[in-house]
Amino acid sequence: MDAREMKIKAATAALEHVEDGMRLGIGTGSTAEEFVRLLAEKVAGGLKVQGVPTSERTARRCVELGVPLKSLDELPELDLTIDGADEVDGNLALIKGGGGALLREKIVAGASTRMIVIADESKVVETLGAFALPIEINPFGSVATRIAIEKLASRLGLTGELKLRRAGEEVFTTDGGHHIFDASFGRIPDAEALAGALNSIPGVVEHGLFIHMASLAIIAGPAGARTLKANNTGANLS
């Protein structure tokens, strides 16, 4: 099974959690896009859902494929969000934001009763941090914000490069008009402490640590899909 087939496998399994009439948060990224494609087929077949997209990119894809959308202001309480991740650990703590949509992803997931993560085996780690942590910042005072992050990380025993994300020649700008530092801290032994500390820096808009947000991960590998629940419990799906 190649990488795309694994994404499709995870997205297909996630679709089984979608019920008629649901208010759905719809994630961002290549795995989430497979989910959107499959969801659109179900919608064409009569399934009634209302989706809230986590990015302009996902919104465009949903419109192209005919998935009905609402804004989060129109639909502020959601039943389920389905989204990808850059890393997943055994307690379902996540690193997200590789696609630059972490702020809206976190707001939408936070407005949802449940969040299901869809990913392939390569995203499962024992300790978060091999993937550089996206930190969304306000462009105003970004040098001061960088220094504050570095000082704070060092107090937590973390060091590493903070790379300002670029899109070709330009600085990458999020849907909310912010910039992103990708922080290569390496292994993050206490993600909860780092998350809380980053939230205390005024120039930090949001960070890609999603802790206690996902209730289930559907992980696809060459042999099929399995579920992962907090504390390493789960089951093989096929």
Known binding-site residues for substrate equal: 28-31, 83-86, 96-99, 123
CB distance 84 to 117 below 8 Å? yes
CB of residue 155 to ligand 5RP, shortest distance in Å: 27
Q: Which is nearer to ligand 5RP, 51 or 98 (CB)?
A: 98
Reported as type and span, the H/E element at residue 87 is strand 87-88
Q: How far is residue 125's CA from residue 88's CA, in Å, rounded to a whole number?
A: 6
What torsion, rounded to 10 degrees, do the Cα atoms 99, 105, 109, 115 define? -10
Q: How far is the CB of 231 from ligand 5RP (least distance, A)?
A: 23
Binding site for ligand 5RP (CB under 6 A): 27-32, 83-86, 96-102, 105
- Tell me how far apart the alpha carbons of residues 104 and 28 are, in angstroms, rounded to a whole number: 10
Instruction: Between 6 and 153, name the residue whose CB sits nearer to ligand 5RP.
Output: 6
Minimum CB distance to ligand 5RP smaller for 89 or for 105: 105
Compute the distance between CA of residue 53 and CA of residue 62 in angstroms, rounded to an integer: 8
Residue ranges for the known binding site are 28-31, 83-86, 96-99, 123
Give the sheet arrangement for strand 133-137, strand by strand.
Answer: 162-164, 179-183, 133-137, 204-207
105, 126, 150, 170: the catalytic one is 105
- The least CB distance from residue 88 to ligand 5RP, in Å, is 10
Question: Shortest distance, CB of residue 23 to ligand 5RP, whole angstroms?
Answer: 20
| Residue 64 known to be catalytic | no
CA distance 111 to 109: 5
For the bound state, the minimum distance from the C-beta of residue 120 to ligand 5RP, rounded and expressed in Å, comes to 8
Instruction: Classify burial at 170, counting beta carbons within 10 Å of its beta carbon; exposed 0-12, middle 13-18, buried 19 or more.
Output: exposed
CB 235 within 8 A of CB 13: no
CA–CA separation, 88 and 230 (whole Å): 10
* Distance separating alpha carbons of residues 142 and 180, to the nearest angstrom: 10
Active-site residues, by number, are 105
